[in-house]
Amino acid sequence: MNRTFLSCLLALPFLSLAPACDDAKEEKSESAKGEDGGASPNVPEAKGQPSAKQAGVPDPCSLMDEALLRKQLGLADDTKLEVGDELDANRFNENAKSCTWRFDGKMVGLQVTVEPAENEADTWASRMLEAKTAQGFEAVDGIADGAAFKAKESHLMFRQGESRLFSLSYAGDRPGATISLETLRPIAAAIERP
């Protein structure tokens, strides 16, 4: 499976990543060119290298408590967890970083998105959660400063203040495989404030 397709597949449950999948269809040489034909300042030239803006986004791989993740998912101590920084999936969203934990054909993903600098509203994260509830997510109490969950996608979004939004999702090993909000709730609670 090629890396671009895999990155798009992993990005689907996350915020603001659908444009990356559309753009991934273009040839790499075209998507990396600016208006003058040179390198675009918005797309990192080297694969796997963060943009200057991404450097200010917390690393989601360092935020996850792996022992708690294993406990909540019922994983044996010897189950191999492959941790992956999904930088390529976020190369078109300089305000986000993602990380995945893969095991036994399943995956948990965490994306951290920070408020875009050009946004002047002081309710950015709240408005993002409101938009998700309009898309079928249910508001959830007792997680961070606000949260929303979509059960059929095992996708929990929560905010810390108005400047950071977290997206925690699960992909099973078969279509329709989900995990409950009660499984994700302690994981979300343990994510440190960056």
Do residues 25 and 8 make contact, with C-beta atoms less than 8 angstroms apart?
no
> Looking up tokens 């979509």, which residue turns up?
150
pLDDT at 129: 94
Q: The whole model's pTM is what? A: 0.71
Measured CA to CA, the distance from residue 149 to residue 153 in angstroms comes to: 9
pLDDT at 109: 93
Range of the domain at 123: 3-190
Q: Check the CA dihedral 31-37-43-48 and report its sign.
A: positive
Each residue's pLDDT tens digit, 23-73: 333 333 343 344 444 443 333 333 455 554 566 788 888 898 889 999 999
Measured CA to CA, the distance from residue 97 to residue 93 in angstroms comes to: 8
Which among 162, 160, 158, 59 is positioned nearest to 119, based on CA atoms?
162
Total tally of structural domains belonging to the chain:
1
Per-residue pLDDT of the chain (194 residues; tens, 9 = 90+): 333 333 433 444 443 333 333 333 333 334 334 444 444 333 333 345 555 456 678 888 889 888 999 999 999 989 999 998 776 555 667 788 899 999 999 999 999 988 776 766 678 889 999 999 999 999 999 999 999 999 999 999 999 888 889 999 999 888 888 999 999 999 999 986 55
Token digits of residue 35: 């208006």
pLDDT at 152: 93
pLDDT at 90: 58
Token digits of residue 19: 């444009």
